[in-house]
Structures are given as C-alpha cells and as structure tokens.
Structure 1
Amino acid sequence: MTRDMQSIDLLWLHFKKENSQIAKEKLIFHYLPYVNQTINRVKMSLPKNVVKEDLLSYGIFGLYDAMSKFDISRGFKFETYAFPRIKGAILDGLRAEDWLPLSIRQKEKSLVKVIGELEQTLGRTATDQEISEQLKMDSKELNNLLDKLSCTNLVSLDQLFNQEGEESISLLERLTDDPEREPENIIFCNEVKNVLTVAINKLPEKEKLVIALYYYEGLNLKEISKVLDLSESRISQLHTKAIFRLRGRLSRQKKALL
C-alpha cells in the first residue's frame, strides 16, 4: 500500500469514527477530480446551454451523500460505490430545474401517449411514420421535437423504478452489483433486470444498440455516434424514442414490481 493510500485510509477513519470536519474536507478535495470526470461524461449528453459549473454543486452533494453512507469496514472501492450516486445527484438537480417550456412538456405527454396506444393496438413497434401521422406532424417536426426532448430523457428512464418515498436511485445504480445493497433490494433489482431485458429486446435494432451502449457499456452519445457511424443528433433522437417506448412498456408493469 502506498503512502498516499494510507493517508486516504486514515482520513476515512477520522471522518467515520470522529466525524472530523477536516477529514471530510480533505476527502472531498481528494475525490473532486472524480466528480469532474463524472460531470464531463454527463455533460456530453446535455444541451450546450448547460454550464459545467452549474453541475458542480450537484456533484459535490452526491459525493458527500456517498461518503456519508459508505461503509469502510466492508473493504469495497469507494469510487465504484460513489459513481451512480454522484451521477444521480447531478441528474436530480437537472430534473428539478426543468428548463423545458410548458408547450413542449405537453407535446412530450402526447408523444408518450401516442406511442403507447399505437404499440398496444398494433402489437408491435410503431414506425416513425405511424407516430408522425398520429401526432399530425411530418417527420421533420417529429425529429425537432425529439431533439428538444432529448436532454430530459437521460433522467426519465433513470427515475422510472424509484419507489414512493424512496431516495432517488438511478437506473444505473439499479443495474449495478452494489455490495452495499440489502437482500430485498437485490431481489427487486433482479426483477427490474428481467423486465428491462424483455422490454429492450423488443426495441428496433438501432434503438436497442443505443440503450445497450449507453446504459450497459457506459458510452456517451458522442462515443456511440462514432461506433454506429451516425450523427450525434441522430443518436440522441434514437435514444429519446427508445426511452419513450420503454417508459410506456415498463410503466404498465411498474405496479406489479413496486
């Protein structure tokens, strides 16, 4: 063990055993680059008007929350434990701001409803043309709407399985093998995985790939655009459509899970 690692371990002991304010501040300073890395990854999938500095306070809040709940006696790596909590705090902050105009938010509700009703009636995935016709839009108008909604749906799927009264837990955290998770939550997590697997497998191929690469492989939208040789805007649209399809399908099963 290096001297730096020993020093960090000692800070953890002071923080946990003595609730040392000095140790807390030094730990936050030590893990701040990790918070910045998480912010950079999240920001690449957000609109350009979202400023990095605005996300820092959310990230630090998530870091401190993770520090407070982390059990040092179990010998697990803190960074692995902290990542979904830092990301979740950032997304929670963005969701609370909700910068979308009311008119766009109403169109979002219409889009979710139309996709859900179409796919239930058809018994298959609705095409872009069918969705556009039902919404009385042309394909360009539909794509413009998807572009405007793309930033919000990074949060929407993450929050779908939170139980009433429960602290915010991201989808990533649900899917991650968390050593801190209680046995009953492990059972719930496995049920979520099974439901998600079925729902994702029913997505159109490109949407399925985007979801797999983003949520399971940890790539951002820019990286996915290079893998699939499509524009970042197109990847964002595919991601948004996939989210709406999954929200419709999963919401019908949510009551059975919660």
Structure 2
Amino acid sequence: MYTAAGQPNREQLVQRYVPLVKRIAYHLMARLPPSVQFDDLVQNGMIGLLDAIDRYQEGFGAQFETYATQRVRGAILDGLRENDWLPRNLRRELRRIEAAINQLEHAHGRAPSERELADALGMSLGDYQKTLQDARGHQLVYLEDFTGDGDEDYLERHFTDNDADPAAILEDQGIKAMLVTAIGQLPERERLMMALYYEQDLNLREIGEVMGVTESRVCQLHSQAISRLRAKITGEVPKAAKRRKETARG
C-alpha cells in the first residue's frame, strides 16, 4: 500500500476501500428518503476517502480503516446537510404523528397500533404507512427542536449552533436514560428492528429477511419507531440544550 518513496499508494488504497464507502452509504440509506440517490452518497463518501488518504499518517495512532470510516461518514453527512432532503410538509405530518402518539398513549396507557394512529389522524391505513415510507429519513433529533419554525431552513442547512448539536444532545445523561426506557417500551417488532439495525448493524434488506417482511415494511417500522421515541423525548431536548449552554458558560 506504499510507494517506493514510502508514501501511501493512493490508487491501491482507493481500490481497496471503495467497498467500505459503499457499505457506509448503504447503511445510511435506511435513514434517508427515496429521493436521495445511493450514487450521490457514494460520490460524497469517495471525497471523504480521498481526503482520508491525503491526510492520514501512521503517527496519528489510529488504524487507517477507522480513520477513513470517520472521514467517509462525515463527508456523506456534510453532503446531506447541504440539501433540504426532508420536505417541510412531510415534517409537519411527522409532527402530527408524534402528537397523536402522545395523545393515545396518555389516553390508553400503552403504545397505539398503526390502525389507531391512522384513525386518529383521519387517514387510511395505507396512506399512513405511505407517510412512514416517505419519511425514511426521519431522525431522532433535529435542529428545529431548538428553534422556532422561522429559523428552520437556515439552521438545517448551516448547523451554526454548536451547543445545539444533535449528537452532543444525545450524549446528555438524562436524555440517554429516557431513550433507553423509551426503546424498552416500543412494540416488540419495532424493538427487534431497532436492535438488528443499531446493535447488529444489519441493513434493511437483511432485517427484512430476519423478520420475514419486505424492505419497505422495515422502513415503515423504522420511521414509526423513531416517531414513538421522539414523542417521548422531544420535550426534554430543549432542556438538554439549555443545560449544555449553562455548563459552558459556567
């Protein structure tokens, strides 16, 4: 993997790690809407791989694959942040679903079924499931959770507030504890799907084979599980952001 001058052989490294780029891109596709193209993710990931090859030095103390994985994933996410890939009207529908989940859980003391949620929203079961399918890019935390609707577009595109970093918020111990509890309260099939995806690192097709359902059905279950989790924790997210800012000032 090195030239006669002792430098990393760029061409050989690219050929060797293209499968890594594709694997990361395919895994991220599960969280993205159908409008996002796999080839676009791979293209952004390749930029990250080339950057990793140019920057990496053995003296950094990290294995190249570990370092490259971080750079590839970061490049793909940077590419996604430059595009408003979840339409505002779909985001509104997801907020309606979260509100319905909250209302029905308080009314019945249990997780509502898909049919109950569809009825509460005045939708057919098919239309409700299509909304879940369209929302395959649904995330646990959005920057809009910390801001008003008027700032949504700007903040979603530019990520300027470091104190409102979604990843950092999820490291908050109170949010972590609530999230663990909320995952434990998911319906069994959704809990299994989340475990296979986030713990076993299976992709959607593999999860579908394990569960005996289609890949699109796994997408629906993932979107619905995220909606249930958001319904539990979104009230705590602004509090976590406030705690981080107060700690930083102190």
TM-superposed CA distance for 1:93, in Å, is: 2.8
The CA distance in 1 between the partners of 2:124 and 2:203, in whole Å, is 29
In terms of mean alpha carbon deviation, does 64-73 or 39-48 score higher?
A: 64-73
67-76 or 108-117, which moves further after superposition? 67-76
| Equivalent AA in structure 1 for residue 162 of structure 2 | E
C-alpha distance 194-83 of structure 1, shift in aligned 2 (>3 A): farther
In 1: Cα distance, 2:19 partner to 2:42 partner: 11
2:200 is matched by which residue type in structure 1?
E
* Percent identity of equivalent pairs: 33
Tell me, in whole angstroms, the C-alpha distance in 2 between the residues paired with 1:192 and 1:218: 23
Pick from 119, 133, 136 the counterpart of residue 133 of structure 1: 119
C-alpha distance in 2 between matches for 1:132 and 1:66: 46
Q: Aligned ranges for residues 94-105 of structure 1 at < 5 Å?
A: 94=80, 96-105=82-91
Structure 1: unaligned runs, 5 residues or longer? 13-22, 175-184
Q: 2:72 aligns with which of 47, 71, 86?
A: 86
Once the 2 structures are TM-superposed, how far is the Cα of residue 123 of structure 1 from its aligned partner?
3.6
Partner of 1:197: 180
Counterpart of 1:181 in structure 2 is: none
Aligned equivalent of 1:236: 219
Q: Higher helix share goes to which structure?
A: 1
Q: Counterpart of 1:146?
A: 132
Quote the Cα distance in structure 2 between the aligned partners of 1:234 and 1:192: 28
The answer to whether the 8 A contact 2:175-2:233 is kept is no
Distance 1:169 1:132, change over 3 A: same
The match for 1:249 is 232
Q: Verify: 1:219 aligned to 2:215, yes or no.
A: no
Contact 2:29–2:38 (CA<8 Å) still a contact in 1?
yes
C-alpha displacement at 1:143, in angstroms? Answer: 1.0
**Structure 1 residue 85, shift from structure 2 partner:** 4.8
The reply to whether residue 109 of structure 1 matches residue 92 of structure 2 is no
2:30–2:219 contact (8 Å) kept in structure 1: no
Residue 44 (structure 2) aligns with: 58
Q: What is the rounded CA distance, in whole Å, between the counterparts of 1:192 and 1:71 in structure 2? A: 37
Work out the CA distance in 1 between the residues paired with 2:71 and 2:166.
Answer: 8
TM-score, normalised to structure 2, is 0.69
Asked if the contact 1:88/1:168 (under 8 Å) is kept, the reply is no
Q: Which of 157, 162, 169 is the matching residue for 1:166?
A: 162
The two structures have a TM-score, normalised by structure 1, of 0.68
The residue identity in structure 2 corresponding to 1:251 is T
Partner of 2:150: none
1:86–1:141 CA distance, 2 compared to 1 (3 A): same
User: How many correspondences in the alignment?
Assistant: 228
Separation of aligned partners in 1, 2:182 and 2:163: 25
Contact 1:84 1:170 in 2 (8 A): no
5+ residue gaps in structure 2? Answer: 147-158, 242-250
Question: CA-atom RMSD, angstroms?
Answer: 4.1
User: For residues 169 and 84 of structure 1, do their structure 2 counterparts lie closer, same or farther at Cα, with a shift above 3 Å needed?
Assistant: farther
| Distance verdict in 2 for CA 1:93–1:67, change over 3 Å | same
Q: CA deviation at 1:28?
A: 6.0
Deviations 1:51-98 (A, max 9, x none): 333223421344467678878545332323443553354245335433
Work out the CA distance in 1 between the residues paired with 2:185 and 2:50. Answer: 39
User: In the superposition, relative to structure 1, how do residues 73 and 157 fare at CA in structure 2: closer, same or farther (>3 Å)?
Assistant: farther
